[in-house]
Amino acid sequence: MRKRTEPVTLEHELCAASGSSSSGSAAAALDTDCRLKQNLRLAGKGPAEPRSGADAGMKRALGRRKSLWFRLRKIILCVLGFYIAIPFLVKLCPGIQAKLIFLNFVRVPYFIDLKKPQDQGLNHTCNYYLQPEDDVTIGVWHTIPSIWWKNAQGKDQMWYEDALASNHPIILYLHGNAGTRGGDHRVELYKVLSSLGYHVVTFDYRGWGDSVGTPSERGMTYDALHVFDWIKARSGENPVYIWGHSLGTGVATNLVRRLCERETPPDALILESPFTNIREEAKSHPFSVIYRYFPGFDWFFLDPITSSGIKFANDENVKHISCPLLILHAEDDPVVPFHLGRKLYSIAAPSRSFRDFKVQFVPFHSDLGYRHKYIYKSPELPRILREFLGKSELERQH
């Protein structure tokens, strides 16, 4: 009987042990499963934090973009509003156009004493002041031929005035807008002409430099007429030529037309970088590019010029001029386009007023780089002037 119960007891013990082992395994499995779920939850939390940080970064970037676009749009609207407002402002205030044409308020170079032309390297130049009208005073420079520079040292105005009657031709130079008679390129031209044996008389129109008065086309022309008559009263039989540059060509043709009408024409007219008329020049000027195709451009920008009494009609004036005419123009002129100078020549050449006089057009190739105001650098200029004005005039001085 003991033998029969032992196996049972052993089996029971084995079962108990097995049960106990089974219960421990289940507990262990359950514990492992809990730890696994916890780890999964912890693992799930890990990526969530960086993801929310990236979202915040993207939101900040989008915010910056929106802020930048808002500011850019604001700037664009302001510029557009300003662009549209300018034509109406010009139309309502025509005086703005006059100031932009004359640019007399631009004084370049700055900080020079116009009473002392010697400071600009003109040690044979005298400064005068003339009075065309009661309330107008204009500053004048008179540069004598360079061969006299030693004799000119320490001389007064009277000596210079008397020198105009010497056996040397005289050039009355009419400068363009902006700057003064002491402008760098102008001074360099005086030196070139002086070295060729010419007297050079130049001045600042009323309202320019140290000249007193208010700028206007009529006033500029009257100033030029006054200086011309002042020269003729002192020059005797010496030839007097008129040289106009840029806007000064408009003053020059106004002056010469008036002189021809009163039958006292100059001996020749030289136009450097001329235009046909101020309307065509304003339309061709680089400043007009941004408005050239603006609806109503002529009405907004060109009509106010005419209403201000500014015409400078070179194309009309040349039909009434009876003296030799020389036109000089650089092909790469960015201010007064070359085609306007060529067009003016095509108007003047067949004109009946020039039938007894020489009309010549001299272009300067764009490769030379003379642009708007550096034709004085041309080594050909002395030959051009000598051939046009005649060798005899230059030979008289020797």
Q: Residue 362: its pLDDT value, please? A: 98
**CA 293, CA 320: separation in Å to the nearest integer?**
34
- In the set 246, 273, 322, 353, the catalytic residue is 246
Average pLDDT per 10 consecutive residues for the chain, totaling 398 residues: 44 44 48 53 50 71 77 84 72 79 88 93 96 97 96 95 95 97 97 97 97 96 98 96 98 98 96 96 81 77 83 97 97 97 97 92 98 98 94 45
| Residue 135 bears catalytic tag | no
Note the pLDDT of residue 114.
96
Cα–chain center distance at 115: 28
Residue 50's pLDDT is: 53
Cα distance between residue 163 and residue 234, in whole Å: 9
Peptide bond preceding 87: is omega within 30 degrees of 0, i.e. cis? no
Q: Exactly one of 315, 329, 333, 353 is catalytic; which is it?
A: 333
Annotated catalytic residue within 124, 199, 285, 372: 372
- Active-site residue 333, yes or no? yes
Active site residue 226: no
**Tally of CB atoms within 10 A around 134:** 6
pLDDT at 33: 55
At 4 the pLDDT is 46
Q: Is the pTM of this model over 0.85?
A: no
Predicted local distance difference test score (pLDDT) of residue 55: 74
Residue 321 to residue 317: CA distance in whole angstroms = 7
Q: How far is CA 182 from CA 113, 119, 203, 312, 378, in A?
A: 9, 10, 9, 24, 21
Helix (H, G, I), strand (E, B) or coil at 51: helix
First to last CA, the chain: 167
Q: Which of 172, 320, 342 is nearest to 243 (CA)?
A: 172
